[in-house]
Amino acid sequence: MEFKDVMARRHSVRAFTDQPVSEKVLNKLLSTAASAPSWSNTQPYQIAVAKGEVLEDLRQTLPPMFDELMDLAKGSKFKQLKAMVTKKGMPDGDFKPVTDYPKDLQPRRSATGYQLYELLGIQRDDKQARHQQMRENFRFFNAPVAVFIFVHEGLDVYSALDAGIFLQSLMLAATDAGLATCAQGALAIWRSPLEKHFNIPENYKLLCGMSLGYEADETINQFKPERQPLEALLVPKK
C-alpha cells in the first residue's frame, strides 16, 4: 500500500472478527513499530502482549470491574467514600483517568461520542446502551490480541511522546498488513489485572492499550470522525 493509503485507511475499529493473528505477523508488526524514533534513542517503553488464555482472563476480569466502577459513580457519596478508603472497585492505573475535559476540547469530545451513538442508533439518554457500548472496550471489541504500552517514569511526558510515535507506527504497520486496531486509553484504568500475568518493571507506568486483529463487517466500523479544518490546527500569526 502507498503511505497515503495506509494513513487514509487506518481508523479505529471497534468490532473484530474471530480470526487469530499469527505469531509471525504479530512479531513483524512489533518489529516494524520498534524502528520508531525516540528521545536520544532511549526507547523508553515496554510492551505487554496479551493473547490466548491471558487475554481471555482479562476479557472476563475487566468488564465486571467497569460495571462496578460505573455503579460506584452513580452511587451515594458514602459508597464512594468507602470505596476510596478500601480501594475496592477503584481505578488503580498509573495515570489519573481523564474525566473532566478542558472546556475548549469538550465540544469535540462530545461530538465524537454523539456521532458514534447516532450511527449505532443509541439515544442520548439511553444510559444502559451507552454503558454496554463503553463496556466493549474491556472486551477488547472481541479482538484476538491486546497490546499494553508502559512508559518509563523518569522521562516524564517525553516517554509518552515516544510511546505515541510507537503506537501510531504499530497501527500503521497493522493497517498496511491488512489488520485493524483501536488505541484505547480506557485500558489504562487498571494496572492490577495485568500484574497477574506480566512482570512489569515498577518504574514503567501503564499509558495505553490497543486492540489488534481483523476488522469485522459491522456498522460501528463505518464510524470515521472528521478532523477539524487545517486552519484550526495552526497557531495564528501575530
Ligand X SMILES: Cc1cc2nc3c(=O)[nH]c(=O)nc-3n(C[C@H](O)[C@H](O)[C@H](O)COP(=O)(O)O)c2cc1C
Binding test (CB under 6 A) with ligand X, winner from 184, 193, 205, 212:
184
By CB under 6 A, residue 174 contacts ligand X: no
66 contacts: CB under 8 Å, gap ≥ 6: 134, 135, 137, 138, 189
Cross-strand partners of 33: none
Q: Which of 143, 173, 186, 194 binds ligand X (CB under 6 A)?
A: 186
CB atoms within 10 A of CB 120: 16
- Cβ-contact 115, 223 below 8 angstroms: yes
CA 181 to chain centre: 9
The one among 11, 28, 108, 135 contacting ligand X by CB under 6 A: 11
CB of 12 to ligand X, least distance (A): 4
Within residues 75-114, the interface with ligand X by CB under 6 A covers 112
For position 211 contacting ligand X by CB under 6 A, the verdict is no
Those residues with Cβ within 8 angstroms of residue 191's Cβ, 6 or more apart along the chain or in another chain: 92, 93, 94, 200, 206
Q: Is 172 in the site for ligand X (CB under 6 A)?
A: no
Q: Which stretch, 24-32, 44-52, 124-132, 179-187, contacts ligand X (CB under 6 A)?
A: 179-187
Interhelix angle 77-86/52-74, nearest 10 degrees: 140
CB nearer to ligand X: give 84 or 98: 98
> Which is closer to ligand X, CB of 88 or CB of 156?
156
Q: Which range touches ligand X (CB under 6 A), out of 9-17, 53-61, 91-99, 100-108?
A: 9-17
Choices 10-18, 35-43, 70-78, 228-236 (CB under 6 A): range interacting with ligand X: 10-18
**For residue 44, what is its C-alpha cell?**
523508553
Specify whether the CB–CB gap between 207 and 96 falls below 8 A: no
Question: Any contact of residue 225 with ligand X (CB under 6 A)?
Answer: yes
* Residue 14 touching ligand X (CB under 6 A): yes
Confirm or reject binding of residue 169 to ligand X (CB under 6 A).
no
In Å, how far are 65, 215, 235 from 11, measured between CA atoms? 27, 10, 26
* 143 interacts with ligand X by CB under 6 A: no
Closest residue to ligand X, Cβ-based? 186
Which of 163, 179, 183, 194 binds ligand X (CB under 6 A)? It is 183
Q: Which of 48, 58, 172, 182 binds ligand X (CB under 6 A)?
A: 182
Please tell me whether residue 63 binds ligand X under the rule CB under 6 A.
Answer: no
Total number of residues shown for the chain = 238
Residue 144, φ and ψ in degrees, nearest 5:
-85, -10
Which residues are CB-neighbours of 58 under 8 A, at least 6 positions away? 50, 140, 146, 193, 194, 197
Would you tell me which residues interact with ligand X (CB under 6 A)? 11-12, 14, 112, 137, 182-186, 208, 224-225
